[in-house]
Amino acid sequence: MARYVLAIDQGTTSSRAFVIDADLRVIGTAQAEFRQQYPQPGWVEHDPEEIWTSVANVVREAVAKAKIDSKQIAGIGITNQRETTIIWDRTTGQPIHNAIVWQDRRTADCCEALKRTGKESLFMQKAGLVLDPYFSGTKIAWLLDNVPGARCRAQAGELAFGTIDTFLTWRLTGGATHVTDVSNASRTLAMNLTTCDWDNELLDLLQIERALMPKIVASSEVVGKTHSVDGLPDGIPVAGMAGDQQAALFGQCCSAPGDAKCTYGTGSFLLMNTGAKPIHSRNRMLTTVAWRLNGKTAYALEGSSFIAGAAVQWLRDGLKIIESAAEIEALAASVPDSGGVIFVPALVGLGAPHWRADARGVISGITRGTTAAHLARATLEGIAFQQYDILAAMQEDSGIKLSALKVDGGAAANNLLMQIQADLLGVEIVRPKQLETTVLGAAFLAGLATGVWKSEGDIAHHWQEDRRFQPSLAAKRRTDHLQKWRHAVEKA
């Protein structure tokens, strides 16, 4: 019996592939970065062909490193940057334009126009999302309106829309399968959370042709098989799909209502499992599908911050006060506090719960005594402060008082950031040994569909804890810190 899973993690700045065995040992891995394109201020694009080439290359390299017969791969799991939008020709498979990335803000005016008509409450009720350029719906409409002939071709059924999971599945199956999983579909502004199907009223408001849309499927099921993929035999099932943050929630084994995790990547994303019924937020949290498994849908509340690790990259590439991202921990730890400096990292606007596309970064409290170390520490605090705002709103919405927060993603390896996070939240931070929980989630979903693992309980015992961070900041100091943060956010 095939006992290996190939997990593809297609992220914002790189594509990765992992070959994982039934005991969760990573036996082959590869990573490739690709270009970020910024045609105008606030615009972010990717070349879909570069994405596919990077995926094909890392898959081939990871399988070669694993030194296994590729016919032993039981299934492929895909996890992906979620709201990034591609439209392509159904016949040729060629994209009609660059992918519009989730960070892109070009549709802010479209979102504001819909808000002025009073439609945001309808989108929040049906789709669980606020009207923000972050999501795919207005990106699709922009492509239809701005690529010559696109709308007519869409009406004629000649074009296909997909987020990255859809595009990769299309390519992996030789164009035979046009699907998206329910977690990715829930990020488009066009899916009804109750029916888990495309909503005609929302499609009409967004001016999206239904003929463009993929079939919505479960997060764990065989949806197609590989065909004509260099380095892979035909017939390997594509069996698991989930947006990166939902995959991380699943990979962290957050299967019970109230379980929560935060992933620290380019941005930071805090999700709380809310069980079998969606909770509609009163505090501008997102209501999203976590996953659909064995005929049952699990929902989550989510708060997203657009900038987390990207703030550290800015210190490195923009201000050049560090040479590598890893240096920030030692630099920030060289001072006992930020010296009164507050950094609001709203470099591309503010996400939840503020949802201000026009916000820009603010650094306040600078004096003659401010050093690079103070700014480095304020950057880590700014990342952590954003999670405080999100969790406070989430706990009020759900009525659940969080006792611990699981963490993952590259920046979760930063011990100082994790301690700052515990101090500001006032809750225990739990870090697993395997920080690649997004990849694990994709692997689990594919493995469950193909029999590598029997149940969620079967995979739960593989999750291993690395370290816990206990809050140690006095309540008064936390309150003072938060007051300064709120004042700075008002200026952003």
196-217 confidence digits (pLDDT tens): 999 999 999 999 999 999 999 9
User: What is the reported pLDDT for 409?
Assistant: 87
Task: Answer yes or no: is pLDDT of 275 > 80.
Answer: yes
Task: Answer yes or no: is pLDDT of 384 > 60.
Answer: yes
Whether 280 maps to a domain, the answer reads no
Whether 133 maps to a domain, the answer reads yes
Task: Answer yes or no: is pLDDT of 2 > 80.
Answer: no
Please count the structural domains in the chain: 1
What distance in Å separates the CA atoms of residue 191 and residue 439, rounded to the nearest whole number?
25
256 falls in which pLDDT band (50, 70, 90)? Answer: confident
User: What is the reported pLDDT for 419?
Assistant: 97
Q: Which domain holds residue 240?
A: 4-245
pTM given for the model: 0.89
Whether 117 maps to a domain, the answer reads yes
Whether 487 maps to a domain, the answer reads no
CATH number of the domain residue 197 falls in: 3.30.420.40
Q: How far is CA 364 from CA 21, 337, 339, 342, 385, in A?
A: 49, 15, 11, 5, 15
Per DSSP, the residues of 173-241 read TTT---EEEHHHHTTSS-EETTTTEE-HHHHHHHT--GGGPPEEE-SEEEEEE--S-TTS-TT-EEEEE
Whether 397 maps to a domain, the answer reads no
Per DSSP, the residues of 4-59 read EEEEEEE-SSEEEEEEEETT--EEEEEEEE---B-SSTT--EE-HHHHHHHHHHHH
What distance in Å separates the CA atoms of residue 255 and residue 430, rounded to the nearest whole number?
16
Residue 183, phi then psi, degrees to nearest 5: -70, -45
Whether 99 maps to a domain, the answer reads yes
Which 8-state DSSP code applies to residue 427?
S
Whether 409 maps to a domain, the answer reads no
Residue pointed to by tokens 């700075």? 488
Coil, helix or strand for 403?
coil
What is the average per-residue pLDDT within 220-240?
94
User: What is the reported pLDDT for 234?
Assistant: 94
Residue 268, phi then psi, degrees to nearest 5: -125, 145
Contacts of 320 (CB under 8 A, 6+ apart): none
